[in-house]
Amino acid sequence: MKLDKDDLLIRRLQVIIHWSVKLLAILMVFVIVMGVIDVAWTLYQKMTTPPEFILTISDMLATFGAFMAVLIAIEIFINITVYLRDDVIHVRIVIATALMAIARKVIILDPDKLTPEYTAAIGIVFLAAAVAYWLTNKIPKKEQMDGQ
């Protein structure tokens, strides 16, 4: 009898987690929409302040950073929806999201404020994530070919 009660508890907890993930998906859509509005508003402000219709390099880098933040939010939304559909975390998608986040960081970095150690660390993290992504793409293909 105790096993049945434990099974019922686990099922109820799984339902709570499932609905929590759905709520996260809804909230992420809100974040994405607000991010798009923020990018549009920022561009509008930059284009309407003198000199009009001119974007400086720093304006463009800030805009690229905002774009990348929205794209990262979209990737996180994809992670959430894949989890809802498959009830499994797909490592490849998570690593791709991490690569995008690192790329955003590199785009918005101020080179004047960087130390060599920080630059090397970012490079190492990016390289490690890229190798992990490459491996997650290579290993399943190799296993599929071995199975044929």
Per-residue pLDDT, averaged over 127-143, amounts to 82
Kindly tell me if the per-residue pLDDT of 49 is higher than 50.
yes
**CB within 8 A of 62, min separation 6: which ones?**
42, 108
Structure tokens at 27: 């909230």
pTM flag (> 0.85) = no
Instruction: State the pLDDT at residue 1.
Output: 46
Q: How far apart are the first and last CA of the chain?
A: 46
CA distance 67 to 86: 28
